[in-house]
Amino acid sequence: PPPTQSARYHSGSGKMPGSYKVCVVGGAGGIGQPLSMLMASHPDVAELCVYDLTVSMVPAEGVAADLSHLNTKCKVKGYAFEVADKAVEKAGECLTGCHLVLVPAGMPRKPGMDRKDLLKVNADIAKNIVEACAKYCPDAVVALIVNPVNSVVPAMCELWKKKGLNPKNIVGVTTLDILRANKFVHEITGAPVEEIEIPIIGGHAGSTILPLFSQDKAGATIPAEQIPDLDKRVQDAGTEVVQKKAGKGSATLSMAFAGARLGRAVLAGLSGAEATECAYVESTITDIPYFATKVTFGPEGVQTVHPIGALSAHEQARLDEMMPTLKEEVQAGLDYAASNEFAF
């Protein structure tokens, strides 16, 4: 008999392009719906699972039914779980055989909530999902879009490592920072946007977002006196969107577009065509164990974590200035991992 689809996925190292299973956790949410649409229209995605809670604004099954009418080959299925459900007990069918799990999940920061409160809530949400991935799809790349990313990614990666699994599978999605920087440089310089690629290093919040304009041909032409304001605009771009949406939402569409770009790079790597994007991963590039730089994705997830490269005086000063903040935020994630375990 012909091999089953899942047997074909895992037979040897030659994972077949064109037959990937992807899950979007939080797939019925503001980021999750457009992200699910973009992944369902990817020519190499054969199966998409839309995973969400029964309390979501739109039922996951409804989003899946809607996407199942796109005239692409992708088969789409929705899964809804109760808030109290443990994914490690309930999400087996959804997650088994996944190659990529994208996680735009978690609560937004509420007024009066400090970062520590947000970390506790969202790390628990992420842990529920990531421990289920460790059980049902331990070879999948898990791409986390859960704030605060600077702390949640180290927390989940350390828990993943405690299970003896490969830390190269856990990735923090910082791609939106790069898209914003690229677009802003295009608007200032008029250079073709598809030729602009501003690396962004450090982390994914506030001052830890460090765009390296000097490392891009167009970016390097911007007068030095304009760089500090442009740097700040990239850091604060999310607030621009929140203000324009007048408290009725945040950067969901651009975040979905960014998540899909990172997802495409991961799938390209899995199929043997290496792809490079900036991402926040376990790293030995600096003395902080988690750091965002350019990352090349290959057949097993993160293949190469690239060095920072040459910096301008402004960039070096910014790096020195933000390192203590990033170190503290990473440490908060390590502390969470030290006092928690996966539930299996």
∠ at Cα 261 (257, 264), nearest 5°? 135
Determine if the peptide bond prior to 148 is cis (ω within 30°): yes
Q: 282 near 290, Cβ under 8 Å?
A: yes
Say how many C-beta atoms besides its own lie within 10 A of residue 75's C-beta: 14
Give the residue from 96, 247, 101, 89 showing the smallest Cα distance to 169. Answer: 101
C-alpha distance from residue 247 to each of 111, 236, 239, 242, 244 (Å)? 11, 16, 10, 6, 8
Q: 230 near 176, Cβ under 8 Å?
A: no
> Which residue numbers are catalytic?
204
Q: 305 near 284, Cβ under 8 Å?
A: yes
Give the residue from 117, 329, 41 showing the smallest Cα distance to 209. Answer: 329
